[in-house]
Amino acid sequence: MKLVLVHPPEPMKSIATEVVQHPINLAQLAAFVRERLGVETAIWDYGVEPYSPVGLRDRLRRFAPDAVGFSVMTPLAKTAARQAAIVKETNPDILTIVGGPHVAAIPERTLAEFPSFDLGVIGEGEQTLAEICARRQRGERFPERVPGTVYRDGGALRIAAERPLIANLDDLPYPARDLLDFSRYQGSSSPGLSSRLRNITELFTSRGCPVHCFFCGSHVTHRTKVRFRSARHVLGEVRECVEKYGIDHFTVDDDTFTFGRERLIEICRGLRELGVSWDCDSRVSNVDEELLRLMAQSGCVKIAFGVESGSPRMLEAIRKKITIQQVEQAFAAARRAGILTSAFIMIGTHPTETPAEVEATFRLMLRIRPDFVMVYIAVPYPGTSLYEMMQREGLIAREDWDEFDIVRGEPVWRTHHFSPADLVRLQRSMYRRIYLRPGFIWRKLALLRGPDDLRYFIDAFGKFIKYIFGKRRELPAPRDGDST
């Protein structure tokens, strides 16, 4: 059997960050079905590969897959569906599968909206995809009643039984990075860390988050239980990446890497022995001075904290379960440990956010002085409490999934105090007021280590200026059969 796993083309990347990462989720799925069933698997990552409908048709004819799976976030749902339609036009017998948080949040609606998908995978994908492939190998053309799926039953849509989560993540093989063309991933794995200066890959050491934030949909896929890989299993993957692929930097992409202190300390010791550098995300409430110093000694060069807002009322409203004091302490401790810091903040993080609370967020940034700041407009993705509240209160003008993005035209939603245009204006104003301060620019220049760093800084800064001062581009109307 042949299987293709597809990351759809992204019509517009953020030119402010140009974050480019390996599709480790697809590489993990590929490794699992390859090991369990011997499925010949390919990964087509149109996030970095050139794409055209003609090219896709030609590739399908040459590879002749039995099934094609699409990994879909909400803004790419329509794009993936158009690609799936091309698959069906090329060969109607190819099974088209959609997975990811969008279908997990609204499974029946996804298949109803997009007839080009035969099956949807709800939640964690490895075991479900393996069973779909096994049934296909046994001759089932379009498998039905596979636990963990939404499927078509004649003219009806059905949701099969829920599939239990994988109990022991150490049972998973290491991701099939051999299916990736590393040369195509030239950009920032994480803001400030360029693949042009380091050999970078992403690493997942756990799944899930116990904190059900108002704007987050992590629970849709992983529920609210956190499951950890052992330090031994994690370090085995790191060692393979170093020895087989020449990786020297790892971006740990867990929802929050710093849960489970004893395991984290064991991983840090192993990373130090392997001589690699790394960065991660963390909650401000999960670190202290001692832990951050240990992380720095083991190669941690950057840590990103989800701050979201400088308003205590907002932090409580979005169920963040952190305090302003914890934010200030975490950034100060990371700076003393010599670790670069990044702050994630939001505009419109809750529908009731006021102009004064946005200003409080800016004032907090001035106090904590992060090395990088990412300013997002909160997107009401299906499956989040934010989506449910905004839908209930009539704040979403239309549910055109192409528009559920933070870098295209104006949002198709508003809040109690901000119009779509206000949200964009506030985001850009926040970026300008933070990044164009002389002190901020001087701190960036002080971090440069040589000509390569300088070239990266000039390139990134130029694109950032273009983004915050340029006109937000609208997507072109899709051509017949096209994906953009």
Does residue 84 lie in a domain region? yes
Does residue 480 lie in a domain region? no
| Model pLDDT for residues 175-225, shown as the tens digit of each residue | 999 999 999 988 777 777 776 678 999 999 999 998 889 999 888 888 778
- Clarify whether residues 99 and 211 are in a common domain: no
pLDDT of residue 482: 43
Does residue 171 lie in a domain region? no
pLDDT of residue 454: 74
User: Where is pLDDT greater, at 398 or 472?
Assistant: 398
Rounded to the nearest 10 degrees, the angle between the axes of helix 451-469 and helix 420-435 is 150
Q: What is the mean pLDDT of residues 352-377?
A: 96
CB-CB neighbours of 236 under 10 Å: 15
Does residue 482 lie in a domain region? no
- Clarify whether residues 332 and 402 are in a common domain: yes
Instruction: Tell me how far apart the alpha carbons of residues 437 and 431 are, in angstroms, rounded to a whole number.
Output: 10
**How distant is the alpha carbon of residue 359 from its chain centre?**
27
- Clarify whether residues 394 and 463 are in a common domain: yes
Residue 401: give its domain's CATH number: 3.80.30.20
Task: Name the domain boundary from 119, 144, 159.
Answer: 159
Residue 73: which domain range? Answer: 2-159
pLDDT of residue 480: 36
Q: What is the mean pLDDT of residues 113-132?
A: 97
Q: What is the mean pLDDT of residues 73-81?
A: 95
- Clarify whether residues 8 and 78 are in a common domain: yes
Helices (H), 385-419: 385-392
| Model pLDDT for residues 265-283, shown as the tens digit of each residue | 999 999 999 999 999 999 9
The count of structural domains within the chain is 2
Contact between 258 and 286 under an 8 Å Cβ cutoff? The reply is yes
127, amino acid identity: Q
Does residue 179 lie in a domain region? no
pLDDT band at 444 (very low <50, low <70, confident <90, very high): confident
Strand partners, 51: none
CB-CB neighbours of 63 under 10 Å: 14
- Clarify whether residues 211 and 141 are in a common domain: no
- Clarify whether residues 355 and 411 are in a common domain: yes
Q: What is the mean pLDDT of residues 426-448?
A: 86
Rg (CA), the chain: 22
Tell me the residue length of the chain: 484
Residue 131: give its domain's CATH number: 3.40.50.280
Does residue 336 lie in a domain region? yes
| Model pLDDT for residues 141-178, shown as the tens digit of each residue | 999 999 999 999 988 999 999 999 999 999 999 999 99
* Alpha-carbon distance values, 7 to 216, 221, 467, 468, 476 (Å): 21, 18, 25, 28, 20
* Alpha-carbon distance values, 15 to 116, 237, 245, 480 (Å): 31, 32, 28, 27
Instruction: Tell me how far apart the alpha carbons of residues 355 and 369 are, in angstroms, rounded to a whole number.
Output: 21
Q: What is the mean pLDDT of residues 250-257?
A: 92
Residue 474 above 60 pLDDT? no
Contact between 108 and 129 under an 8 Å Cβ cutoff? The reply is no
pLDDT band at 14 (very low <50, low <70, confident <90, very high): very low
Does residue 180 lie in a domain region? no
- Clarify whether residues 386 and 337 are in a common domain: yes
- Clarify whether residues 128 and 245 are in a common domain: no
- Clarify whether residues 195 and 123 are in a common domain: no
- Clarify whether residues 98 and 224 are in a common domain: no
- Clarify whether residues 272 and 149 are in a common domain: no
Does residue 165 lie in a domain region? no
- Clarify whether residues 307 and 392 are in a common domain: yes
- DSSP assignment string, 335-374: HHHT-EEEEEEEESSSTT--HHHHHHHHHHHHHH--SEEE
